[in-house]
Amino acid sequence: SPVALAGGAPPATVAAGNAREVTAPRIDGHSLTAEDAANSS
């Protein structure tokens, strides 16, 4: 999610985006990116 990568979005938005990414298959790789972005924050 570009929003998660931006890091400027509110925690609520990041959490929502993270949940959506987690729902998607990990093979997609987006879930890993979302988790990494959240971790960096």
| Residues 3-40 pLDDT 10s | 555 556 566 666 666 666 655 555 555 556 666 666 76
**What pLDDT score does 8 carry?**
61
pTM score of the predicted model: 0.20
> What pLDDT was estimated at residue 9?
54
Angle of helix 11-23 relative to helix 30-40, nearest 10 degrees, comes to: 150
What does the buried/exposed string (b/e) look like for 1-38 if buried means 16 or more CB atoms within 10 Å of the residue's CB? Answer: beebeeeebeeeebeebbeebeeeeeeeebbeebeebb
Task: Specify the pLDDT at position 17.
Answer: 67
Find the Cα–Cα–Cα–Cα dihedral 29, 34, 37, 41, rounded to 10°.
-160
pLDDT value, residue 14: 66
